[in-house]
Amino acid sequence: MQHLLTLFEIDPTELVRILDTSLTLKKRLTLGDRPPILERRVLALLFQKPSLRTRVSFETGMAQLGGSSLFLGEEVGWGKRESASDFAHVLGQFVDAVVCRAKKHEHVETLAQFNAMPVINGLTDLCHPCQAMGDVVTVKEAFGDYVGRHLVFVGDGNNVAQSLALIAAMLDMRFTLACPDGYEMDSDWLARVAKQYPKAKIETTSDPLKAVVDADAIYTDVWTSMGQEAEMAARREAFAKYQVNSALMAKAPSTARVLHCLPAVRGEEITDAVIDSDQSDVINQAGNRMHAQKGLLVWLLNRKWIDANIK
């Protein structure tokens, strides 16, 4: 059974098929065409964390594909009222797939190990594969291709940065993380990327001004993520020189695009002048979450449609 817990589970060829499907479905949607590719399919959303984009994009995307979805919060008692095996197997009797937004990556691994239904990682502390897919769809729209494009992430080497580093390796993009000492990506994660993609172009630097000199896209995220609130003061001090502002953008090419996975703390990791500028693709990027996830859902649940419609 196919799951998507990280992007390591799929190969680059299949990733491109998913992304091509996403772009095709987005184009058809703009023409008012909503093909019922997943008619009568049901998607569960099992969430331990709050969400706007992930929840709404999956629910809306599933509806546009002709299916339905249901939201499962704390009231279902996941991990509390019954064994993980019983929970997964019973849920698998009712739904065609589940999106799991979990506090710990081990939770999605546990859910997937029973192979009761396809499991999609909707965010964990380790990675955020659906976000990364929407992000590279945005890059493709901005530049027409992926290969050789330089994506610079300014900020914490967090779950989003780790997924971007991996997807960049899969698509032959360059990826640079500009961060203060002590906030680099997980070394085990990077070792795994290097082992699977030995030609990966991934760099880490402490100098954001140098990092963006030849950037195609400049990406940032909040300095303090959910669950890190006790570190807020220390993080604000550590990242003070890593704000994406007009001075930083002046060092980048005029063609560089600005990305942010949202929600943003305006005036902290990014200024209003930048996030609202003509170089910003942030709102389109958020919208592309839905389109990327529609491609993923079709790939998981109706691959025959892709074989017949995506060349």
289 is catalytic: yes
Instruction: Write the CA distances from 294 to 42, 152, 170, 204, 306, integer angstroms.
Output: 13, 26, 20, 32, 12
Of the residues 96, 221, 285, 291, only one is catalytic, namely: 221
Cβ atoms 177, 203 nearer than 8 A: yes
Query: Any known ligand binding at 129?
Result: yes
How far is the C-alpha of 309 from the C-alpha of 33, rounded, in Å?
Answer: 14
Of the residues 3, 17, 107, 128, only one is catalytic, namely: 128
Query: Any known ligand binding at 254?
Result: no
Of the residues 17, 64, 107, 131, only one is catalytic, namely: 131
Tokens of 11: 């190969």
236 is catalytic: no
196 is catalytic: no
Query: Any known ligand binding at 130?
Result: yes
* Nearest residue to 43 (alpha-carbon basis) of 100, 115, 83: 100
Query: Any known ligand binding at 128?
Result: yes
Query: Any known ligand binding at 159?
Result: yes
Cis peptide before 263 (omega within 30 of 0): yes
131 is catalytic: yes
Query: Any known ligand binding at 261?
Result: yes
Side-chain-side CA neighbours of 306 within 13 Å: the count stands at 20
128 is catalytic: yes
Query: Any known ligand binding at 179?
Result: no
Of the residues 53, 261, 281, 291, only one is catalytic, namely: 261
Of the residues 41, 289, 291, 293, only one is catalytic, namely: 289
Query: Any known ligand binding at 23?
Result: no
How far is the C-alpha of 61 from the C-alpha of 97, rounded, in Å?
Answer: 14
How far is the C-alpha of 178 from the C-alpha of 204, rounded, in Å?
Answer: 6
Residue 151 DSSP one-character state: E
Active site residues: 101, 128, 131, 221, 261, 289
Q: Which residues make up each annotated binding site for carbamoyl phosphate?
A: 101, 128-131, 261-262, 289
Q: Which residues make up each annotated binding site for L-ornithine?
A: 159, 221, 225-226
Q: Which residues make up each annotated binding site?
A: 101, 128-131, 159, 221, 225-226, 261-262, 289
